[in-house]
């Protein structure tokens, strides 16, 4: 299972959001580029970035994101404000390893399927769930889609992955969030990446035994130091196969 150390950007700062609310961000006072390089130094294979300014139509973090892509030394999975082919392909041209598509998939599913076919292993579908329904329009509007039906509607579109986020998740209902992600992993044909459910390395150990869970985004837990990245990467590795002894 791949651990994606994660940073979310807002006004040039690294932030975390409580249930997707942009008006109440928690700001982490870290050097963003150096922190990203630290992820690579610790052994991460990928990292994940979300640009919340781009969600609001602002491109203020573009230079920072480009610097991370150029210098961090591992591929970057990038999301936020990917509302059309031009922007998606521009970031692929700038070196982003994967692009995460959310609201565009609800508005123009045929375009997103086409992009997934044209850019193999580079388009990731984001499925954000709030109170049992898929949220569209960058987490502001609850749509009429059940998450199972939404995923199944894309059939065998060749996504690099499907990120499932339970926006309503909190520490008191982690079991419900795990159950949701497990259920959706069972209907998805692309590998599922869990988001918002890792508070400790025990959560990683649980996720890696759920069929079709290929990765987990880990952000707040790394920044708050409740999870050590090196330990998380170790726990995420598959258990060694038993070897028969021979006399």
Could you tell me where the beta strands, DSSP code E, fall in 47-169? 47-51, 76-79, 98-101, 123-130, 133-136, 141-142, 161-166
User: Mind giving me the DSSP string for 95-121?
Assistant: T-SEEEE-HHHHH-HHHHHHHHHHSTT
List 8, 51, 53, 203, catalytic entry: 8
Active site includes 93?
A: no
Cβ(80)–Cβ(55) under 8 Å? yes
Looking up tokens 């509302």 gives 83
Rounded CA separation 171/90 (Å):
38
Q: Is residue 149 classed as helix, strand or coil in its secondary structure?
A: helix
Active site includes 128?
A: yes
Tokens coding 205: 């150990």
List 51, 53, 128, 138, catalytic entry: 128
Q: Is residue 214 classed as helix, strand or coil in its secondary structure?
A: strand
- Bridge partners (DSSP) listed for residue 7: 49
- CB-neighbour burial class of residue 131 (10 A; exposed 0-12, middle 13-18, buried 19+): exposed
Q: State the catalytic residues.
A: 8, 128
């Amino acid at each position: 299972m791949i651990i994606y150390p994660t940073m979310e950007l807002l006004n040039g700062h690294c932030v975390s959001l409580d249930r997707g609310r942009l008006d109440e961000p928690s700001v982490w006072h870290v050097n963003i580029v150096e922190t990203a390089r630290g992820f690579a130094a610790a052994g991460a294979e990928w990292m994940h970035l979300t640009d919340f300014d781009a969600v609001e139509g602002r491109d203020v973090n573009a230079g920072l994101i480009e610097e991370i892509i150029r210098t961090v030394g591992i591929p970057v999975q990038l999301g936020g404000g990917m509302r059309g082919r031009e922007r998606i392909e521009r970031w692929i041209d700038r070196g982003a390893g994967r692009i995460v598509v959310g609201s565009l998939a609800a508005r123009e599913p045929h375009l997103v399927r086409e992009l997934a076919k044209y850019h193999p292993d580079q388009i990731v579908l984001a499925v954000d769930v709030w109170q049992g329904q898929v949220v569209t329009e960058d987490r502001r509007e609850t749509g009429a889609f059940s998450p199972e039906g939404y995923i199944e509607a894309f059939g065998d579109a060749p996504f690099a992955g499907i990120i499932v986020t339970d926006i309503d998740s909190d520490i008191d209902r982690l079991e419900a969030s795990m159950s949701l992600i497990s259920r959706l992993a069972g209907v998805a044909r692309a590998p599922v990446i869990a988001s918002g459910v890792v508070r400790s390395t025990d959560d990683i150990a649980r996720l890696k035994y759920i069929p079709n869970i290929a990765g987990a985004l880990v952000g707040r837990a790394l920044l708050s130091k409740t999870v050590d990245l090196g330990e998380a990467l170790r726990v995420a590795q598959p258990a060694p196969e038993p070897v028969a002894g021979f006399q």
